[in-house]
Structure 1
Amino acid sequence: MTETIELAPDRVRAAIAENPTTRARDLADSLGISEAQLVAARVGQGATRIAAHPDRLMPAAGQLGEVMALTRVPACVHEKVGRYENYHSGQHASMVLAEEIDLRMFPSHWVHAYAVETDGEQGPRRSLQVFDAGGDAVHKIHLRPGSDHAAWAGVVEGLAESEQSDRLVVEPRVPTEGPKSAPDKVDVLRKEWARLTDTHQFLRLCSKLKMNRLGAYRIAGAPFVRRLAPGAANTMLQTVQAEGIEVMVFVGNRGCIQIHTGPLQRLREVGPWQNVMDPGFNLHLRLDKVAEVWAVEKPTQRGPAISVEAFDAEGGIIFQVFGVGKEGRDSRPAWGRIVEGLASAEEAAA
């Protein structure tokens, strides 16, 4: 577990003032604190501690009109523009099923939250930011010029907590779980995998066999998985863009999974980053952080679900991409051909 130190709020605020263009996560890391502690230091000076539970936050976010939803992992940032509508509460998992914003949320990881306001060249920049127990960002909601800024003050007042300290104690950060396999159970894994009828059953199968996703992929073999070259992640994005098909792009951390459904129209590679820069959807992927890529096939009642999944060097999942199987918008055949054409790890090595 990673420990964070306690830094006096005035020192944190001074560091923020001295580094106005540094990304919050990067600045927090350089100070040896969590991002949530960085934000907490501004309480009373542009930040307000608010209720973190999705049951409180999601209806409030719906009052803000069109906003930008952001969910990230260390190697990838997923941004969607839309409205927070059609919220479904759940004890263990909640959902937003709006036309543009599509989220799966796990409330036990929504622990700390803040409403944040900073000065910008074109007016105040406002956001609602949620963090887990270790102080890592789970989900952020950024207002845009066209958002309902008139509703902001009322939303913050309605969500504000009675405790407004500029200090925050966080739990030690839980490290990424590396690949976990049980080779002695590979026959059971393959037998049960072939019997799946829904993709959501897969993680329950892994848990039952004392494995995790990447560990299962490493031992399952054909026809269930094929290890691809790390560069296949970028090739896949470029081919999807070139062929104009629709895909579903999942990026998620422990507390939130965010989904884009649609085409990838504009790619822009800058340094180690591959960027999707589409109206209403941006994706920022650190190509140099992609350590493993897998083509995965799971049987379902509607036919095979084929995905391309990328992992970092610690074994954390970066993204999953599936073909769209909606009636009238079925990209699965074209998607299957794209995945089949991606170079395997063995071919790239050769």
Structure 2
Amino acid sequence: MITTQSLKERWTIFKEQNPKARIRDAAKELGVSEADLLATQVGETVQRLEGDFREILKDIPTLGYVMALTRNDTIVHERKGVYEKVSFNDHVGLVLGPDIDLRLFMSHWHFGFAVDENGRKSLQFFDLDGSAVHKIYLTDKSDETAYEALIQKYYAVEQIPLIVTVPYPDKEDSVSNEEVDDQAFKKEWLAMQDTHEFFGLLRKYKLDREQGLRMAPEGHAQLISVDQLKRIFETAAEREVPIMVFASSAGCIQIHTGPIKKLVSMGPWYNILDPEFNMHLREDQIHSIWVTRKPTKDGIVTGLDLFDKQGNSIALIFGKRKPGIPEMKEWQQVVYEAITA
């Protein structure tokens, strides 16, 4: 068993040897979770929070203009703005502002911390296994007085530099293709009236997401390359076609809707570096990219599904759209040109 003191010492040495390493990468190298590492700093640069995290989120609008960050191993999604219209139906929540747009799954919110990284202040939330689900960073436009008041309101009685994380069991295997009624699945795909019906379709046939795409009707799912994905981003930026970028952790889906402008490659990372929205995508960790076409009552919806080597969803990308409004022809053209060039 790793004691808090020995882990703290190991992390100190690691930071000295790798001064630019992110805490998520340090945790992997040290064989622990990000939350485990962060907890070693409780009483110094970190304060533990307690209480109903739904109530904390309802108080986030008092902070004003902040930066919301949600990530998985392959993509980092950062969006600046104000938390608005925060609501919950039991353990499922919504944040529905024009800038900060989130879907929250509170059964995955187990640990909360207030963090001060050399003056960069944030609220950080973690799953039971210690993986980050969502982080909220103050900006120079944020209300620091409200931030301090929020910490005091939810300040944990016991500020102990140790947490107990529990790994989740491995995902259950999906059924083999031979066990699926292929024709019935295709028929139900073609009968969809809303893109959200796809989740129910996968559950019904006990398929994982990529498996479902492999079994799609002819012409409704197509593999493309990373270069074609980048061409889609570049053309959308050039033509000012607004897009939607969904990135998720286990406890949060974060969505950017709007145009993109500045695209930059830095080593393995492909980046969108705009004033209000940043995306950092590890090209070398993308295993497959699918262009999907799903029928709805408003017509075909064209999307991009990105997966890693383990079959985990990295991100979803669409043209900007709302229910009741047909998909933009400009977006369909951007995708068509990129995959046929």
Instruction: Identify the residue that residue 83 of structure 2 maps to in structure 1.
Output: 84
2:229, 2:10 → 1: CA distance? 40
Alignment of 1:185-204 (within 5 A): 185-204=181-200
1:74, 1:52 → 2: CA distance? 28
Do the aligned partners of residues 125 and 21 (structure 1) sit closer, same or farther apart at CA in structure 2, a change above 3 Å counting? same
1:99, 1:320 → 2: CA distance? 19
Secondary structure of the structure 1 residue equivalent to 2:47: strand
Correspondence 1:94 to 2:90: no
Q: Read off the aligned partner of 1:157 and give its amino acid letter.
A: Q
Whether the aligned pair in 1 keeps the contact of 2:7 and 2:37 (CA below 8 Å) is no
Secondary structure of the structure 1 residue equivalent to 2:63: coil
Instruction: Identify the residue that residue 211 of structure 1 maps to in structure 2.
Output: 207
Among residues 273, 292, 305, which one is paired with 2:269 in the alignment?
273
Secondary structure of the structure 2 residue equivalent to 1:334: helix
Q: Which moved more, 1:170-179 or 1:142-151?
A: 170-179
Alignment of 1:291-330 (within 5 A): 291-326=287-322
Secondary structure of the structure 1 residue equivalent to 2:215: helix
Whether the aligned pair in 1 keeps the contact of 2:300 and 2:327 (CA below 8 Å) is no
Do the aligned partners of residues 178 and 80 (structure 1) sit closer, same or farther apart at CA in structure 2, a change above 3 Å counting? farther
Instruction: Identify the residue that residue 334 of structure 2 maps to in structure 1.
Output: 338
Secondary structure of the structure 2 residue equivalent to 1:29: helix
Q: Read off the aligned partner of 1:72 and give its amino acid letter.
A: R
2:201, 2:326 → 1: CA distance? 28
Among residues 237, 258, 261, which one is paired with 2:257 in the alignment?
261
Whether the aligned pair in 2 keeps the contact of 1:69 and 1:140 (CA below 8 Å) is yes
Secondary structure of the structure 2 residue equivalent to 1:144: strand
Note the C-alpha offset of 1:150: 1.7
C-alpha offsets along residues 163-214 of structure 1, whole Å, 9 cap, x if unaligned?
Answer: 3211111111455677765343221111111111111111111101111211
Among residues 274, 282, 286, which one is paired with 2:278 in the alignment?
282
Instruction: Identify the residue that residue 74 of structure 2 maps to in structure 1.
Output: 75
Instruction: Identify the residue that residue 163 of structure 1 maps to in structure 2.
Output: 158
1:181, 1:230 → 2: CA distance? 28
C-alpha offsets along residues 233-283 of structure 1, whole Å, 9 cap, x if unaligned?
Answer: 222211211221001110112110000000111111111111101110000
Among residues 221, 235, 241, which one is paired with 2:237 in the alignment?
241
2:78, 2:33 → 1: CA distance? 22
Note the C-alpha offset of 1:298: 1.2
1:171, 1:99 → 2: CA distance? 36
Q: Structure 1 stretches (4+) deviating beyond 4 angstroms?
A: 173-181
Instruction: Identify the residue that residue 12 of structure 1 maps to in structure 2.
Output: 8
What RMSD in Å do the two structures reach over aligned CA positions? 2.3
Whether the aligned pair in 1 keeps the contact of 2:70 and 2:253 (CA below 8 Å) is yes
Whether the aligned pair in 2 keeps the contact of 1:50 and 1:114 (CA below 8 Å) is yes
Secondary structure of the structure 2 residue equivalent to 1:155: helix
Note the C-alpha offset of 1:333: 0.5
Among residues 177, 181, 204, which one is paired with 1:182 in the alignment?
177
TM-score normalised to structure 2 length: 0.92
Secondary structure of the structure 1 residue equivalent to 2:297: coil
Whether the aligned pair in 2 keeps the contact of 1:66 and 1:146 (CA below 8 Å) is yes
Do the aligned partners of residues 10 and 224 (structure 1) sit closer, same or farther apart at CA in structure 2, a change above 3 Å counting? same
The runs of 5 or more residues in structure 1 that have no matched partner are none
Secondary structure of the structure 1 residue equivalent to 2:296: coil
2:331, 2:230 → 1: CA distance? 15
Whether the aligned pair in 2 keeps the contact of 1:110 and 1:130 (CA below 8 Å) is yes
Instruction: Identify the residue that residue 26 of structure 1 maps to in structure 2.
Output: 25
